[in-house]
């Protein structure tokens, strides 16, 4: 399939704004989905890292959804003519905490569109920068990378996970976990909840674990292992899919000085699914 990069790069600089209020309910739902025993969020409590994905949710009308559950192409994101769309990674910089009860604003901008040649076809990468502000000014900067690929473009060859980990937690995904997270972020993409669709149409072996859920689980691992630390920067890359047919592991290795940690998710065969670096405040 031919990709007209010049046309797609015409979307660079396109912006949109959204406003929301940091409600406690979504945070309670996320805590339950992560199997945490957190106290009930109260006004003024800080949102945990990754919690911002629970807000500014898309409200695409049912009549405007494509067959895969995504919004029809065009609009804010460029109309990439490739059928498979996935999270490729991103970078989060936490400037100030978002707090329960805050009225928050997000300004999003398409910052780059590039094409790379995959093993059997083109890959289109779209980067979107989000700047989220609260009552005290800028709170979070996120660079989000989205990758589009063709139906015949196979995933990258598996990379083995590090052999040793100081932190390690087993996660057993199932349709309930994936359904609950889809509901929390109002994600209608059928690969996360429709088993017949994901196996018969897209050819995956099972339901696909959401990219932001894997990233959230890695951030949650940092919270569990370093409960007094504050994550300031989180840089992550998706390397392979995870499915609901097997348990996977989130693991990590803190730096000797404690200022950062390397964290990753690996599948049941020990292949890397996501790798990340978390930097903590002094």
Q: pLDDT tens digit string along 186-213?
A: 999 999 999 999 999 999 999 999 999 9
- Going along the chain from its start, the domains and CATH numbers come out as 5-280 (3.10.129.10)
pLDDT, tens digit, for every residue of 162-193? Answer: 888 999 999 999 999 999 999 999 999 999 99
**Region 31-52 average pLDDT:** 96
> Residue 197: which residues within 8 A CB-CB, separation 6 or more?
68, 190, 191
pLDDT given for residue 34 in this prediction = 96
- Residue pLDDT, tens place only, 239-256: 999 999 999 999 999 999
- pLDDT attached to residue 246: 96
Alpha carbon 142 to its chain's center: 11
- Quickly count: other Cβ atoms within 10 Å of residue 15's Cβ: 10
Q: How many CB atoms lie within 10 A of CB 105?
A: 16
Q: What are phi and psi of 63, to 5 degrees?
A: -70, -10
In this prediction, residue 155 carries a pLDDT of: 60
Mean pLDDT, the chain, integer = 94
């Amino acid at each position: 399939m031919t990709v007209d990069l010049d046309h797609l790069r015409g979307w660079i600089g396109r912006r949109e704004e959204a406003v929301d209020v940091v409600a406690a309910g979504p945070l309670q739902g996320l805590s339950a989905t992560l199997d945490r025993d957190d106290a009930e969020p109260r006004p003024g409590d800080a949102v945990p890292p990754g919690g911002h994905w629970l807000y500014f949710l898309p409200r695409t009308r049912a009549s405007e959804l494509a067959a895969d559950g995504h919004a029809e192409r065009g609009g804010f994101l460029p109309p990439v003519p490739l059928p498979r769309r996935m999270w490729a990674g991103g970078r989060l910089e936490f400037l100030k905490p978002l707090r329960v009860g805050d009225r928050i604003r997000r300004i999003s901008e398409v910052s780059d569109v590039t094409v790379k040649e995959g093993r059997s076809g083109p890959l289109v990468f779209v980067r979107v920068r989000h700047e989220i502000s609260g009552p005290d000014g800028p709170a979070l900067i996120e660079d989000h990378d989205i990758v589009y690929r063709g139906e015949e473009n196979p995933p990258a060859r598996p990379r083995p996970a590090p052999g040793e980990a100081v932190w390690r937690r087993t996660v057993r995904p199932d349709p309930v976990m994936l359904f609950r997270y889809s509901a929390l972020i109002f994600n209608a993409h059928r690969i996360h909840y429709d088993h017949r669709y994901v196996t018969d149409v897209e050819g995956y072996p099972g339901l696909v674990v959401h990219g932001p859920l894997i990233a959230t689980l890695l951030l949650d691992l940092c919270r569990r292992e370093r409960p007094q630390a504050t994550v300031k920067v989180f840089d992550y890359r998706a390397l392979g899919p995870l499915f609901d047919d097997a348990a996977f592991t989130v693991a990590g290795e803190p730096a000797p000085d404690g200022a950062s940690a390397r964290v990753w998710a690996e599948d049941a065969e020990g292949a890397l699914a996501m790798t990340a670096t978390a930097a903590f405040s002094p």
